[in-house]
């Protein structure tokens, strides 16, 4: 069940990303700016160049935003499944 939960949260995260991207472009612009600031902060932590270069290559703004949407969907899905399971436990 947890594997399905992860897969569904990835799909829902992608759908939420696309929805915000299309319907709320100004909000997505602010989110991408925040992701850019997070990347700049992470790469300015004073790590050695060996690790800092990996951070620059692997962390892109759109990946950070997609991870954020996926985490939000995972939390929302967990709350929904918890509520449904509590509802069936009472019956």
pTM over 0.85: no
Q: Which residues contact 4 (CB under 8 A, 6 or more apart)?
A: none
> pLDDT tens across 16-57, in order?
999 999 999 999 999 999 999 999 998 888 888 888 888 888
- The per-residue DSSP string of 70-87 comes to HHHHHHHHHHHHHHHHHH
Q: Which of 28, 17, 33 is closest to 66 using CA atoms?
A: 17
Nearest-angstrom CA–CA distance, 79 and 56: 34
Residue that has been written with the tokens 């690790």 in this structure? 51
């Amino acid at each position: 069940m947890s594997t399905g939960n992860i897969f569904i949260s990835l799909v829902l995260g992608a759908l939420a990303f696309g929805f915000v991207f299309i319907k709320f472009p100004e909000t997505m612009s602010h989110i991408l700016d925040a992701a850019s600031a997070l990347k700049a902060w992470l790469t300015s932590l004073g790590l050695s160049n060996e690790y800092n270069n990996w951070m620059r290559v692997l962390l892109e703004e759109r990946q950070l935003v997609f991870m954020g949407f996926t985490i939000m969907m995972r939390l929302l899905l967990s709350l929904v499944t918890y509520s449904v399971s509590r509802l069936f436990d009472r019956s």
